[in-house]
Structure 1
Amino acid sequence: MVSEYLKQNTAEFHDAAEKLFNAEKIFNKTFTLEDYKKIISTNYLMLLHSEDKIFNRLSGKFAEKLQLDQRKKLALIEKDRESLSIENQTASHPLEINNEHEALGMMYVIEGSTLGGNVIAKQLSKTEGFDEVTFNFFGCYQENTGLMWKNFKEVLDAAVTEENYSEVLSGAKKLYTFLLNVN
Protein backbone atom coordinates (compact mmCIF):
# COMPACT_ATOMS: atom_id res chain seq x y z
CA MET A 1 0.00 0.00 0.00
CA VAL A 2 1.33 3.37 -1.03
CA SER A 3 0.30 5.04 2.26
CA GLU A 4 2.62 2.72 4.21
CA TYR A 5 5.37 3.21 1.62
CA LEU A 6 5.04 6.99 2.03
CA LYS A 7 5.04 6.78 5.82
CA GLN A 8 8.26 4.74 5.81
CA ASN A 9 10.01 6.78 3.14
CA THR A 10 9.14 10.24 4.49
CA ALA A 11 9.80 9.56 8.19
CA GLU A 12 13.03 11.60 8.16
CA PHE A 13 11.17 14.57 6.62
CA HIS A 14 8.36 14.27 9.18
CA ASP A 15 10.91 14.21 12.00
CA ALA A 16 12.71 17.23 10.54
CA ALA A 17 9.41 19.14 10.40
CA GLU A 18 8.66 18.29 14.03
CA LYS A 19 12.13 19.52 14.99
CA LEU A 20 11.74 22.72 12.93
CA PHE A 21 8.47 23.51 14.67
CA ASN A 22 9.67 22.60 18.19
CA ALA A 23 6.96 19.96 18.49
CA GLU A 24 8.35 18.60 21.77
CA LYS A 25 7.50 21.96 23.38
CA ILE A 26 3.81 21.43 22.54
CA PHE A 27 3.54 18.47 24.86
CA ASN A 28 5.61 19.83 27.72
CA LYS A 29 3.57 23.04 27.60
CA THR A 30 6.51 25.36 26.88
CA PHE A 31 5.30 26.15 23.35
CA THR A 32 4.86 29.90 22.85
CA LEU A 33 2.62 32.03 20.69
CA GLU A 34 5.71 32.90 18.60
CA ASP A 35 6.33 29.16 18.03
CA TYR A 36 2.72 28.83 16.91
CA LYS A 37 3.02 31.81 14.57
CA LYS A 38 6.02 30.11 12.94
CA ILE A 39 3.97 26.95 12.28
CA ILE A 40 1.08 28.97 10.86
CA SER A 41 3.35 31.14 8.70
CA THR A 42 5.22 28.18 7.24
CA ASN A 43 2.10 26.12 6.62
CA TYR A 44 0.46 29.15 5.06
CA LEU A 45 3.26 29.50 2.53
CA MET A 46 3.09 25.76 1.81
CA LEU A 47 -0.66 25.96 1.16
CA LEU A 48 -0.42 29.23 -0.77
CA HIS A 49 2.05 27.70 -3.20
CA SER A 50 0.57 24.20 -3.42
CA GLU A 51 -3.14 23.91 -2.72
CA ASP A 52 -4.52 25.27 -6.01
CA LYS A 53 -1.82 23.48 -8.01
CA ILE A 54 -2.57 20.17 -6.30
CA PHE A 55 -6.32 20.47 -6.71
CA ASN A 56 -5.96 21.49 -10.36
CA ARG A 57 -3.74 18.45 -11.05
CA LEU A 58 -6.18 15.98 -9.53
CA SER A 59 -8.75 14.74 -12.00
CA GLY A 60 -12.51 14.70 -11.58
CA LYS A 61 -12.51 11.17 -10.17
CA PHE A 62 -10.40 12.36 -7.25
CA ALA A 63 -12.49 15.47 -6.68
CA GLU A 64 -15.47 13.33 -5.75
CA LYS A 65 -13.71 10.43 -4.04
CA LEU A 66 -11.56 12.71 -1.88
CA GLN A 67 -14.26 15.34 -1.28
CA LEU A 68 -11.77 17.97 -2.41
CA ASP A 69 -14.21 20.81 -1.78
CA GLN A 70 -14.08 19.95 1.94
CA ARG A 71 -10.28 19.71 2.02
CA LYS A 72 -9.42 23.30 1.07
CA LYS A 73 -7.50 24.88 3.91
CA LEU A 74 -5.93 28.08 2.53
CA ALA A 75 -8.86 30.31 3.55
CA LEU A 76 -8.84 28.77 7.04
CA ILE A 77 -5.14 29.39 7.63
CA GLU A 78 -5.59 32.94 6.29
CA LYS A 79 -8.10 33.50 9.11
CA ASP A 80 -5.51 32.24 11.60
CA ARG A 81 -2.85 34.55 10.15
CA GLU A 82 -5.21 37.50 10.41
CA SER A 83 -6.18 36.76 14.01
CA LEU A 84 -2.48 36.42 14.92
CA SER A 85 -1.52 39.61 13.01
CA ILE A 86 1.08 37.78 10.93
CA GLU A 87 2.69 39.86 8.20
CA ASN A 88 2.60 38.77 4.57
CA GLN A 89 5.58 36.75 3.43
CA THR A 90 6.68 35.17 0.18
CA ALA A 91 8.31 31.85 -0.55
CA SER A 92 11.90 31.95 -1.68
CA HIS A 93 11.50 29.25 -4.32
CA PRO A 94 8.74 27.97 -6.63
CA LEU A 95 6.94 24.65 -6.31
CA GLU A 96 6.26 22.58 -9.41
CA ILE A 97 3.99 19.57 -9.71
CA ASN A 98 4.75 17.32 -12.67
CA ASN A 99 1.72 15.01 -12.60
CA GLU A 100 -1.28 13.70 -10.71
CA HIS A 101 0.81 11.20 -8.73
CA GLU A 102 3.05 13.96 -7.40
CA ALA A 103 -0.08 15.91 -6.49
CA LEU A 104 -1.32 12.93 -4.48
CA GLY A 105 2.04 12.72 -2.69
CA MET A 106 1.82 16.40 -1.80
CA MET A 107 -1.71 15.95 -0.59
CA TYR A 108 -0.46 13.14 1.66
CA VAL A 109 1.80 15.67 3.40
CA ILE A 110 -1.00 18.22 3.80
CA GLU A 111 -3.56 15.70 5.03
CA GLY A 112 -0.98 14.24 7.41
CA SER A 113 -0.30 17.70 8.80
CA THR A 114 -4.04 18.10 9.34
CA LEU A 115 -4.11 14.86 11.31
CA GLY A 116 -1.20 16.04 13.45
CA GLY A 117 -2.65 19.53 13.62
CA ASN A 118 -5.76 18.23 15.30
CA VAL A 119 -3.58 16.83 18.10
CA ILE A 120 -1.66 20.13 18.27
CA ALA A 121 -4.88 22.16 18.52
CA LYS A 122 -6.21 19.99 21.36
CA GLN A 123 -2.92 20.22 23.24
CA LEU A 124 -2.46 23.96 22.77
CA SER A 125 -6.03 24.74 23.74
CA LYS A 126 -5.02 23.47 27.21
CA THR A 127 -1.80 25.52 27.24
CA GLU A 128 -1.47 28.88 28.97
CA GLY A 129 -1.40 31.78 26.51
CA PHE A 130 -3.58 30.12 23.86
CA ASP A 131 -6.98 31.02 25.32
CA GLU A 132 -7.77 33.50 22.54
CA VAL A 133 -6.39 31.41 19.66
CA THR A 134 -8.83 30.07 17.09
CA PHE A 135 -7.56 26.90 15.48
CA ASN A 136 -9.23 27.29 12.08
CA PHE A 137 -6.50 25.45 10.16
CA PHE A 138 -5.50 22.80 12.70
CA GLY A 139 -9.07 22.17 13.75
CA CYS A 140 -10.52 22.20 10.24
CA TYR A 141 -12.12 18.73 10.28
CA GLN A 142 -13.12 18.84 13.94
CA GLU A 143 -14.45 15.43 15.02
CA ASN A 144 -14.18 14.13 11.44
CA THR A 145 -10.37 14.29 11.33
CA GLY A 146 -9.91 10.54 11.66
CA LEU A 147 -12.56 9.81 9.05
CA MET A 148 -11.08 12.29 6.57
CA TRP A 149 -7.60 10.77 7.00
CA LYS A 150 -8.99 7.23 6.62
CA ASN A 151 -10.87 8.25 3.47
CA PHE A 152 -7.77 9.87 2.01
CA LYS A 153 -5.59 6.81 2.67
CA GLU A 154 -8.20 4.42 1.24
CA VAL A 155 -8.55 6.42 -1.99
CA LEU A 156 -4.78 6.82 -2.26
CA ASP A 157 -4.11 3.10 -1.70
CA ALA A 158 -6.81 2.07 -4.18
CA ALA A 159 -5.75 4.53 -6.88
CA VAL A 160 -1.97 4.17 -6.91
CA THR A 161 -0.28 1.08 -8.30
CA GLU A 162 3.22 0.05 -7.33
CA GLU A 163 4.79 1.34 -10.54
CA ASN A 164 3.71 4.86 -9.53
CA TYR A 165 4.92 4.75 -5.91
CA SER A 166 8.11 6.63 -6.79
CA GLU A 167 6.16 9.53 -8.37
CA VAL A 168 3.88 9.82 -5.33
CA LEU A 169 6.94 9.74 -3.07
CA SER A 170 8.59 12.40 -5.24
CA GLY A 171 5.60 14.70 -4.67
CA ALA A 172 5.65 14.12 -0.91
CA LYS A 173 9.40 14.80 -0.73
CA LYS A 174 9.03 17.96 -2.84
CA LEU A 175 6.41 19.40 -0.53
CA TYR A 176 8.29 18.44 2.62
CA THR A 177 11.44 20.02 1.15
CA PHE A 178 9.47 23.17 0.32
CA LEU A 179 8.02 23.29 3.83
CA LEU A 180 11.40 22.77 5.49
CA ASN A 181 13.13 25.44 3.40
CA VAL A 182 10.43 28.06 2.97
CA ASN A 183 11.69 30.43 5.64
Structure 2
Amino acid sequence: MVSEYLKQNTAEYHDAAEKLFNSEKIFNKTFTLEDYKKIIGTNYLMLLHSEDKIFNQLSDKFSEKLQLGDRKKLPLIERDLASLALESQSISHELDFTNENEALGAMYVIEGSTLGGNVIAKQLSKTEGFDDVTFNFFGCYHENTGPMWKNFKEVLDTEVAEENYAEVLSGAKKLYMFLLNVN
Protein backbone atom coordinates (compact mmCIF):
# COMPACT_ATOMS: atom_id res chain seq x y z
CA MET A 1 0.00 0.00 0.00
CA VAL A 2 1.39 3.33 -1.07
CA SER A 3 0.22 5.12 2.10
CA GLU A 4 2.41 2.85 4.26
CA TYR A 5 5.30 3.21 1.79
CA LEU A 6 5.01 7.00 2.04
CA LYS A 7 4.76 6.96 5.83
CA GLN A 8 7.93 4.87 6.14
CA ASN A 9 9.91 6.76 3.51
CA THR A 10 9.02 10.28 4.64
CA ALA A 11 9.37 9.76 8.41
CA GLU A 12 12.67 11.68 8.54
CA TYR A 13 11.07 14.65 6.72
CA HIS A 14 8.05 14.57 9.01
CA ASP A 15 10.33 14.56 12.06
CA ALA A 16 12.37 17.44 10.63
CA ALA A 17 9.17 19.46 10.10
CA GLU A 18 8.06 18.81 13.68
CA LYS A 19 11.47 19.97 14.91
CA LEU A 20 11.39 23.07 12.68
CA PHE A 21 8.03 24.08 14.11
CA ASN A 22 8.92 23.27 17.76
CA SER A 23 6.04 20.81 17.92
CA GLU A 24 7.10 19.43 21.30
CA LYS A 25 6.23 22.86 22.78
CA ILE A 26 2.62 22.39 21.69
CA PHE A 27 2.10 19.51 24.09
CA ASN A 28 3.98 20.95 27.05
CA LYS A 29 2.02 24.20 26.65
CA THR A 30 5.06 26.42 26.00
CA PHE A 31 4.16 27.06 22.33
CA THR A 32 3.85 30.81 21.80
CA LEU A 33 1.83 32.96 19.44
CA GLU A 34 5.11 33.73 17.60
CA ASP A 35 5.66 29.96 17.15
CA TYR A 36 2.13 29.71 15.78
CA LYS A 37 2.69 32.63 13.39
CA LYS A 38 5.78 30.86 12.03
CA ILE A 39 3.90 27.61 11.41
CA ILE A 40 1.00 29.44 9.73
CA GLY A 41 3.30 31.61 7.61
CA THR A 42 5.32 28.63 6.40
CA ASN A 43 2.25 26.50 5.67
CA TYR A 44 0.73 29.45 3.82
CA LEU A 45 3.74 29.63 1.50
CA MET A 46 3.60 25.87 0.98
CA LEU A 47 -0.09 26.01 0.02
CA LEU A 48 0.32 29.16 -2.07
CA HIS A 49 2.99 27.50 -4.19
CA SER A 50 1.57 23.98 -4.34
CA GLU A 51 -2.19 23.68 -3.97
CA ASP A 52 -3.24 24.82 -7.45
CA LYS A 53 -0.34 22.95 -9.05
CA ILE A 54 -1.35 19.75 -7.29
CA PHE A 55 -5.03 20.09 -8.13
CA ASN A 56 -4.27 20.96 -11.77
CA GLN A 57 -2.20 17.77 -12.18
CA LEU A 58 -5.00 15.50 -10.93
CA SER A 59 -7.43 13.93 -13.37
CA ASP A 60 -11.20 14.18 -13.05
CA LYS A 61 -11.19 10.67 -11.56
CA PHE A 62 -9.20 11.92 -8.55
CA SER A 63 -11.07 15.20 -8.40
CA GLU A 64 -14.29 13.27 -7.87
CA LYS A 65 -12.98 10.47 -5.62
CA LEU A 66 -11.08 12.86 -3.37
CA GLN A 67 -13.74 15.60 -3.33
CA LEU A 68 -11.08 18.15 -4.21
CA GLY A 69 -13.49 21.05 -3.84
CA ASP A 70 -13.75 20.24 -0.13
CA ARG A 71 -9.97 20.02 0.27
CA LYS A 72 -9.04 23.59 -0.72
CA LYS A 73 -7.08 25.05 2.17
CA LEU A 74 -5.47 28.20 0.77
CA PRO A 75 -8.53 30.43 1.43
CA LEU A 76 -8.67 29.12 5.00
CA ILE A 77 -5.04 29.79 5.81
CA GLU A 78 -5.37 33.24 4.22
CA ARG A 79 -8.04 33.98 6.85
CA ASP A 80 -5.60 32.84 9.54
CA LEU A 81 -2.92 35.14 8.08
CA ALA A 82 -5.33 38.06 8.21
CA SER A 83 -6.47 37.32 11.78
CA LEU A 84 -2.82 37.17 12.90
CA ALA A 85 -2.01 40.38 10.98
CA LEU A 86 0.72 38.56 9.01
CA GLU A 87 1.91 39.85 5.67
CA SER A 88 1.91 37.50 2.74
CA GLN A 89 5.47 36.72 1.76
CA SER A 90 7.19 35.48 -1.31
CA ILE A 91 9.79 32.80 -1.82
CA SER A 92 12.87 32.55 -3.93
CA HIS A 93 12.47 29.06 -5.35
CA GLU A 94 9.76 27.42 -7.39
CA LEU A 95 7.92 24.18 -6.89
CA ASP A 96 6.65 21.96 -9.69
CA PHE A 97 5.12 18.52 -9.95
CA THR A 98 5.78 16.70 -13.20
CA ASN A 99 2.82 14.32 -13.14
CA GLU A 100 -0.24 13.09 -11.31
CA ASN A 101 1.72 10.68 -9.10
CA GLU A 102 3.97 13.46 -7.81
CA ALA A 103 0.91 15.60 -7.18
CA LEU A 104 -0.64 12.78 -5.13
CA GLY A 105 2.56 12.50 -3.09
CA ALA A 106 2.52 16.23 -2.38
CA MET A 107 -1.13 16.00 -1.45
CA TYR A 108 -0.22 13.25 1.02
CA VAL A 109 1.97 15.77 2.87
CA ILE A 110 -0.79 18.41 2.95
CA GLU A 111 -3.50 15.98 4.01
CA GLY A 112 -1.19 14.58 6.68
CA SER A 113 -0.56 18.08 7.98
CA THR A 114 -4.32 18.54 8.21
CA LEU A 115 -4.58 15.42 10.34
CA GLY A 116 -1.84 16.71 12.63
CA GLY A 117 -3.25 20.21 12.50
CA ASN A 118 -6.50 19.04 14.02
CA VAL A 119 -4.56 17.76 17.05
CA ILE A 120 -2.58 21.03 17.18
CA ALA A 121 -5.76 23.14 17.11
CA LYS A 122 -7.33 21.15 19.95
CA GLN A 123 -4.16 21.40 22.05
CA LEU A 124 -3.57 25.11 21.42
CA SER A 125 -7.19 26.01 22.10
CA LYS A 126 -6.45 24.87 25.68
CA THR A 127 -3.17 26.83 25.85
CA GLU A 128 -2.88 30.26 27.43
CA GLY A 129 -2.56 33.05 24.88
CA PHE A 130 -4.60 31.33 22.15
CA ASP A 131 -8.09 32.37 23.28
CA ASP A 132 -8.68 34.67 20.31
CA VAL A 133 -7.04 32.49 17.65
CA THR A 134 -9.23 31.06 14.91
CA PHE A 135 -7.94 27.76 13.60
CA ASN A 136 -9.33 27.98 10.06
CA PHE A 137 -6.50 25.96 8.48
CA PHE A 138 -5.73 23.52 11.28
CA GLY A 139 -9.39 22.91 12.01
CA CYS A 140 -10.50 22.87 8.38
CA TYR A 141 -12.32 19.52 8.38
CA HIS A 142 -13.70 19.82 11.92
CA GLU A 143 -15.27 16.51 12.94
CA ASN A 144 -14.66 15.09 9.44
CA THR A 145 -10.85 15.05 9.79
CA GLY A 146 -10.68 11.28 10.37
CA PRO A 147 -13.06 10.38 7.52
CA MET A 148 -11.33 12.78 5.09
CA TRP A 149 -7.91 11.24 5.88
CA LYS A 150 -9.31 7.72 5.59
CA ASN A 151 -10.87 8.56 2.21
CA PHE A 152 -7.61 10.03 0.96
CA LYS A 153 -5.57 6.99 2.02
CA GLU A 154 -8.12 4.55 0.52
CA VAL A 155 -8.10 6.35 -2.84
CA LEU A 156 -4.29 6.43 -2.86
CA ASP A 157 -4.00 2.76 -1.91
CA THR A 158 -6.54 1.56 -4.48
CA GLU A 159 -5.58 3.84 -7.39
CA VAL A 160 -1.76 3.98 -7.28
CA ALA A 161 0.02 0.99 -8.80
CA GLU A 162 3.21 -0.25 -7.15
CA GLU A 163 5.35 0.73 -10.13
CA ASN A 164 4.35 4.37 -9.45
CA TYR A 165 5.31 4.43 -5.75
CA ALA A 166 8.67 6.11 -6.46
CA GLU A 167 6.98 8.99 -8.32
CA VAL A 168 4.47 9.47 -5.50
CA LEU A 169 7.34 9.51 -3.00
CA SER A 170 9.19 12.03 -5.19
CA GLY A 171 6.24 14.44 -4.96
CA ALA A 172 6.04 14.04 -1.19
CA LYS A 173 9.77 14.69 -0.82
CA LYS A 174 9.57 17.76 -3.08
CA LEU A 175 6.89 19.31 -0.91
CA TYR A 176 8.64 18.41 2.34
CA MET A 177 11.90 19.92 1.06
CA PHE A 178 10.05 23.07 0.02
CA LEU A 179 8.41 23.33 3.45
CA LEU A 180 11.68 22.73 5.31
CA ASN A 181 13.60 25.29 3.24
CA VAL A 182 11.04 28.04 2.83
CA ASN A 183 12.28 30.13 5.79
Write the distance in 2 (CA, Å) between the matches of 1:130 and 1:139. 14
Query: Where does residue 86 of structure 2 map in the other structure?
Result: 86
Which sections of structure 1, spanning at least 5 residues, go unmatched? none
Query: Where does residue 10 of structure 1 map in the other structure?
Result: 10
> What are the Cα deviations for residues 98-120 of structure 1, in whole angstroms up to 9, with x where unaligned?
00000000000000000000000
Q: Which amino acid aligns with 2:6?
A: L
User: What pairs up with 1:55-134 in 2 under 5 angstroms?
Assistant: 55-134=55-134
Percent identity at matched positions?
A: 83
For the aligned residue pairs, the C-alpha RMSD in angstroms reads: 0.3
Write the distance in 2 (CA, Å) between the matches of 1:91 and 1:126. 33
Write the distance in 1 (CA, Å) between the matches of 2:57 and 2:157. 18
Pairs aligned (count): 183
Write the distance in 1 (CA, Å) between the matches of 2:91 and 2:83. 21
User: What pairs up with 1:159-170 in 2 under 5 angstroms?
Assistant: 159-170=159-170
2:139 aligned counterpart, secondary structure: coil
Write the distance in 1 (CA, Å) between the matches of 2:92 and 2:15. 22
Displacement of 1:88: 1.8
2:34 aligned counterpart, secondary structure: helix
Write the distance in 2 (CA, Å) between the matches of 1:78 and 1:7. 28
Write the distance in 2 (CA, Å) between the matches of 1:143 and 1:87. 30
1:131 aligned counterpart, secondary structure: coil
> What are the Cα deviations for residues 143-162 of structure 1, in whole angstroms up to 9, with x where unaligned?
00000000000000011011
> What TM-score comes out, normalization by structure 1 length?
1.00
Q: Which amino acid aligns with 1:57?
A: Q
1:91 aligned counterpart, secondary structure: coil
2:128 aligned counterpart, secondary structure: coil
2:136 aligned counterpart, secondary structure: coil
> What are the Cα deviations for residues 29-56 of structure 1, in whole angstroms up to 9, with x where unaligned?
0000000000000000000000000000
Q: Which amino acid aligns with 2:155?
A: V
1:149 aligned counterpart, secondary structure: helix
Write the distance in 2 (CA, Å) between the matches of 1:162 and 1:156. 11
Q: Determine if the alignment matches structure 1 residue 146 to structure 2 residue 158.
A: no
Displacement of 1:92: 1.9
Write the distance in 1 (CA, Å) between the matches of 2:99 and 2:146. 27
Displacement of 1:70: 0.1
Write the distance in 2 (CA, Å) between the matches of 1:92 and 1:78. 20
Displacement of 1:166: 0.1
After alignment, is 87-96 or 115-124 more displaced?
87-96
Write the distance in 2 (CA, Å) between the matches of 1:73 and 1:180. 19
Write the distance in 1 (CA, Å) between the matches of 2:5 and 2:65. 21
Query: Where does residue 49 of structure 2 map in the other structure?
Result: 49
Write the distance in 2 (CA, Å) between the matches of 1:173 and 1:162. 17
